[in-house]
């Protein structure tokens, strides 16, 4: 793909992720009467479907954009369900703020660990001071 084509396909992931996150509560409350289990399963199936389309579908820019959009929508919704709505449903109402704080804290700790791992792997690929990237 050209840089423009790859950018088009990749842009669908965060846009659809935002839509999935926003719609997750609405879908759960209005369509499934505040039952979190069924929409979580459906979001998970959408994630699997998007991955199957991405890895086993035809090589096409539009197909890849649709697959990335499906994955983004599903991940956006699953993050809200698993890290937000379900955690708040399981905890006493006076502890919801603390629960969300702990989820945020450990999310940032995990993200920092991932960044450290990425940085060390990138350092390993430096040859004579020049960073080499081989994605093949």
pLDDT at 136 over 60: no
Alpha-carbon distance of 7 to 9, in angstroms, equals 5
Is the pTM higher than 0.75? The answer reads no
* Residue 132 to residue 2: CA distance in whole angstroms: 20
Mean pLDDT: which of 29-38, 68-77, 104-113 is highest?
68-77
For the beta carbon of residue 118, count every other beta carbon within 10 angstroms: 10
């Amino acid at each position: 793909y050209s840089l423009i084509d790859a950018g088009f396909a990749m842009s669908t992931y965060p846009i659809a992720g935002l839509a999935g996150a926003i719609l997750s509560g609405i879908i759960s409350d209005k369509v499934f009467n505040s039952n979190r289990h069924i929409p979580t399963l459906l979001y998970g199936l959408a994630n699997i479907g998007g991955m199957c389309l991405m890895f086993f579908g035809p090589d096409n820019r539009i197909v890849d954009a649709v697959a990335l959009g499906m994955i983004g929508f599903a991940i956006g919704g699953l993050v809200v369900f698993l890290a937000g709505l379900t955690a708040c449903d399981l905890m006493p109402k006076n502890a919801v703020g603390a629960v969300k704080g702990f989820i945020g804290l450990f999310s940032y700790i995990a993200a920092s660990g991932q960044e450290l791992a990425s940085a060390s792997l990138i350092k390993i690929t430096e040859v004579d001071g020049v960073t080499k990237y081989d994605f093949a």
